[in-house]
Amino acid sequence: MLFPLISILMLLLICLTGVIWLRFTFFFGVVFPYAASFIFIAGCIYRVVIWARSPVPFCIPTVCGQQKSLPWIKSDKVQSPSTSWGLIRRMASEIVFFRSLFINDKTELKKGQILSNDASRLLWLGGLIFHWSIFIILIRHLKLFVEPVPNYVLFLQNIDGMFQFGSTNFYLTHVFILISLLFLLLRRMIFSRMRLISLFTDYFALYLILAVVVSGILMKYVYKVDVMSIKRVIMGMLAFKPFIIADINPVFYVHVFFVCVLLVYFPFSKLMHMGGIFLSPTRNMKNDSRATRHVNPWDYPVKVHSYEEWEDEFRSALKEAGLPVEKKKSRRNKGENG
């Protein structure tokens, strides 16, 4: 819990030292972002290609609904998909709505040795709000990367920012992501079971995203960094004609720095679950393994115990019991061990 926090603070220190004291603004504003973007893109592609190229030898969906068998039995077309459309719906329910977390429940051992069971939707809600907030915030950020700004980005921004606090309008997603992040962090700290299973990386990822979020929020509400000049910087980078602005607030560099650390960290970490979910064989396969043969690409012949060998061993017993045999006499020297 503490080490990951310290490492984040050290990263902050590195950034502030580099920007304010050493004035390595070109490194933090140009070199590192380019490098991080490259590592992110190349790393993600590498990971996904490795997964996608790994063979799926067997058809192993986890079936969560009635199979398609007899015509008068209503099958669950989504949770036991036998068609591609059903499969798409199943995957969409997972990826868009976190269906498996939605059905989550909590089991507790009560006095009198009774296992109680209650629906437990908090993790689902927290996870869903967290991921959707990130998604919307990323879309909103497109306004810094695209000129002219697409209408859907403006539309989303208007909805997200429809509430006002005093004179400034604030984004709902900022509230949501802070709350959900704190929830995801606190549940790891409070519940002993979560504490037990959590690794350094689990906290580190959360703190890192929190650092990105907090620096972003500070930039918008406290330091009110000039958005238009940031956009000019970004557009310059996208055109591979990078330049830096001298008088921009260091919080901008902090934000960019943490985003870049996140980009570098992403492909090598559990955060790749985003790409992995699409490739998970227990979710993305149809439950039709008896109707359509699944081929194992690395299948190889194995040592079997053939009928002939079996009959050789048991011929007299078979005859004695009056069961039919293929050959009347045993072949003596054929091995009995198969």
Binding positions for another protein, 278-297, rule CB under 8 A: 279-283, 287-296
Cβ pair 255, 202 in contact under 8 A: no
**From start to end of 136-199, where are the E strands?**
163-165, 168-170
Name the minimum Å distance from CB 300 to another protein. Answer: 9
Tokens of 337: 């061990």
**Spatial separation of the C-alpha atoms in residues 163 and 171, rounded to whole Å:** 7
The piece of 47-55, 137-145, 163-171, 213-221 that touches another protein (CB under 8 A) is 47-55
Q: What is the residue whose two structure tokens read 């919307």?
A: 136
Binders of another protein in range 68-97 (CB under 8 A)? 68-70, 72-76, 79-80, 82, 94
Reference 177, options 223, 222, 215, 228; nearest CA is 215
Q: Tell me which of 65, 236, 242, 250 binds another protein, using CB under 8 A.
A: 65
**Spatial separation of the C-alpha atoms in residues 258 and 14, rounded to whole Å:** 11
> Of 107 and 164, which has the nearer Cβ to another protein?
107
Q: Tell me which of 84, 107, 167, 333 binds another protein, using CB under 8 A.
A: 107
Q: Tell me which of 2, 84, 239, 324 binds another protein, using CB under 8 A.
A: 324
Name the minimum Å distance from CB 98 to another protein. Answer: 6
Binders of another protein in range 176-215 (CB under 8 A)? 187, 191-202
> Of 148 and 335, which has the nearer Cβ to another protein?
335
Does residue 45 touch another protein according to CB under 8 A? no
| DSSP annotation string for 198-226 | --HHHHHHHHHHHHHHHHHHIIIIIS---
> Of 34 and 200, which has the nearer Cβ to another protein?
200
CB atoms within 10 A of CB 80: 21
Reference 66, options 54, 50, 77, 56; nearest CA is 77
Does residue 2 touch another protein according to CB under 8 A? no
Going residue by residue from 108 to 137, which x/- string records binding to another protein, judged by CB under 8 A? xx---xxx-x-----x---x----------
Does residue 247 touch another protein according to CB under 8 A? no
Cβ pair 178, 168 in contact under 8 A: no
CB atoms within 10 A of CB 56: 15
> Which residues lie across from 118 on neighbouring strands?
106
Does residue 241 touch another protein according to CB under 8 A? no
What angle (nearest 5°) sits at the alpha carbon of residue 202, between those of residues 6 and 132? 115
CA distances from 270 to 145, 153, 205, 223, 301 (A): 27, 29, 9, 33, 37
> Of 239 and 291, which has the nearer Cβ to another protein?
291
Q: Tell me which of 13, 17, 26, 106 binds another protein, using CB under 8 A.
A: 106
**Spatial separation of the C-alpha atoms in residues 56 and 226, rounded to whole Å:** 51
> Of 80 and 157, which has the nearer Cβ to another protein?
80
Binders of another protein in range 258-277 (CB under 8 A)? 268-270, 272-273, 276-277
Does residue 246 touch another protein according to CB under 8 A? no
Name the minimum Å distance from CB 194 to another protein. Answer: 5
Name the minimum Å distance from CB 319 to another protein. Answer: 9
Binders of another protein in range 155-174 (CB under 8 A)? none
